[in-house]
Structures are given as structure tokens and as C-alpha cells.
Amino acid sequence: MSTYAIGDLQGCYAELEDLLNKINFDTTNDQLWFVGDLINRGPESLACLRFVKGLGENATTVLGNHDLHLLAVANGVREPHRKDTLDDILSANDADELLNWLRNLPLLIHSTELNFTMVHAGLPPQWSLKKAKELAHETEILLRSNQFDGFIQKMYGDKPDRWAEELEGYDRHRFIINCLTRIRYCHVNGQLDLAAKNAPGKEDKTLIPWYALADRQTKKNKILFGHWSTVHLGNENTVEKYNVYSLDTGCLWGREMTAMRLEDEKLFSVPSHQPKIF
């Protein structure tokens, strides 16, 4: 049996089919880990969502920021963005089933056997892996509870921007969500900067990629993440330098979709069918 971790799909279903053919995916033996952002901006969001859900126990998926955006739009909390491709999902006859499945996805997965942890975006430097798992679970419980409607109305915002154990209520859960699904850069003191999005080395010198902070408590843990397609444009050798594995290789932007076999860390990629933007 092999386990493959796959980068952001974002509605690129044809490329996912190509990638699964390339790795000879076998539902009787193989497992897939999806790094989140299954949907949005690409041409076949509904197909991606239905396919991954339909894999059942053959797939494990964490929530990404675009997945949460869909839940917010469906609940009338956010207006659709101009480039969103969510209409097919929202009007589907199985929309409620799909949305409920999304709500019940984890924010972090960890395998002791494979020695890998996966989140969509990243982790703040103050959290150990044990703490990250506890906090992710804490917020997962909220998302699955009858408090979901109240929380999703308060989920968006860039504050608080620094972890403190004393954080409570929606502020605490918002910080957890922001780290696991939105983080890219931090200041040297661990304060988040959620506005910066460029490739490493292209932003202000006072900003440091979350994985490169010297005091990051998860430096010894193997972390898989997506969300940040321009990491690879910054020529960052994240594995050797920082013990993290960036899986979003910009399929939506016309580059590649990538999978990594966790047992031997071998990479597999297929070209995008989308117009090349950068």
C-alpha cells in the first residue's frame, strides 16, 4: 500500500485524473491525502468535491481557506468573489450533503506510522506538534457543532495576530483557523502577517516564512502543506532547510499538480491544463 499527498486541486479535475493515472492509483491498496482547497477558481470544482468525497476511506483531507470560503458563501456570510467557481456546487442537488461533509473535515492530520503531519497553510512558531493537534481538534469540534452558524459569522479577520494561551472564544478559534488555513509570513516575534502573499524573498525583509522562523517548535516534525504556490518560485529548498514539504505547485496558474508518495518521498507531477499566468 502507498500513501500519496496531493497539492491544492482548486477545481482542476482533469489534472487530478492525469495525476492519479500517473501514480497508478489503486483504490484497493492506496491512500490519498489532500492538502485542502479542493475547490474554487478552477473549472470543475463540483467534480473535484464529489470525487474526493466519493473516495470514502481511501482519502483523507484537511480544510483549506477556499473550502471554508464555500461554507461562508453558502451560509450568506460572504459574497462570492468575481473569480469564484462555486455556483455549480451551490446549485447541485447534493449541495447540502457536500457542505456537511466539508464541515466535518479535519484541520490537521497526523500519522505516527508515516511520521508526517499535514495542514493546509502552516503553523505558528509557538506551537509544538502536540499543541497544534490539540488546538486543531478544539476548532474542529466547534465547526461540527450547533455553534457553527455563530462562529462562521466571526471567522474572518486578521486579529489576533499573535498566539497567547489566554485567547478565548471566537478570537481563539479565529487565530487557529488563520494559522492552519491562511498563514504564510510572520515577523521575527511570531506575529502573523496575513496580507503578504508573494514568493519567499519577494516580500519585506522584516517578514519571514512561517517555516523559517528560528524558534519554530515543530522544526523536527515533517510538515506537509499547500496554500502557497509561489514558494517554489522563491527557490526555497524547504525539505533540506526546514523539514517541510510544499505541495502546491501552481496547477491553477498553469504550472503543475504534484503528489508525493509518503513512504519514500518521491514526487510525481503532471502539467496543468490551465492558462499559464506565472
Instruction: With a cut of 70, say whether residue 209 has pLDDT above it.
Output: yes
Instruction: With a cut of 80, say whether residue 237 has pLDDT above it.
Output: no
In this prediction, residue 204 carries a pLDDT of 86
Residue from 188, 200, 190 nearest 236 by CA: 200
Query: Domain residues of the chain, as ranges?
Result: 3-271
Average pLDDT over every residue of 193-215:
93
Question: E strands of 176-219, at which residues?
Answer: 185-186, 192-193, 208-209
Instruction: With a cut of 90, say whether residue 106 has pLDDT above it.
Output: yes
Q: Binning pLDDT at 50, 70 and 90, where does residue 239 land? A: confident
**pLDDT tens profile 70-80:** 999 999 999 99
Range in 106-110, 163-167, 204-208, 257-261 the model is least confident about: 204-208
Q: Binning pLDDT at 50, 70 and 90, where does residue 240 land? A: confident
C-alpha cell at 267: 514526487
Instruction: With a cut of 80, say whether residue 23 has pLDDT above it.
Output: yes
Average pLDDT over every residue of 6-26:
98
In this prediction, residue 235 carries a pLDDT of 61
Instruction: With a cut of 80, say whether residue 277 has pLDDT above it.
Output: yes
Burial of 63-89, coded b for 16+ CB within 10 Å and e otherwise, reads: bbbbbbbbbbbbeebbeeeeebbbebb
The burial class, CB within 10 Å (0-12 / 13-18 / 19+), for 276 is: exposed
Q: Residue 50: what are its φ and ψ, rounded to 5°?
A: -65, -40
In this prediction, residue 41 carries a pLDDT of 97
In percent, the amount of the chain with pLDDT more than 90 equals 94
Instruction: With a cut of 90, say whether residue 278 has pLDDT above it.
Output: no
Instruction: With a cut of 80, say whether residue 47 has pLDDT above it.
Output: yes
Residue from 146, 92, 131, 118 nearest 37 by CA: 118
Instruction: With a cut of 80, say whether residue 166 has pLDDT above it.
Output: yes
Instruction: With a cut of 90, say whether residue 147 has pLDDT above it.
Output: yes
Q: Binning pLDDT at 50, 70 and 90, where does residue 117 land? A: very high
In this prediction, residue 232 carries a pLDDT of 84
Average pLDDT over every residue of 178-201:
95
The mean pLDDT of the chain is 96
Please check whether residue 184 is in contact with residue 197, taking contact to mean a CB–CB distance below 8 angstroms: yes
In this prediction, residue 236 carries a pLDDT of 65
Tell the CATH superfamily of the 3-271 domain: Metallo-dependent phosphatases (3.60.21.10)
Helix (H) or strand (E) holding 260: strand 256-261
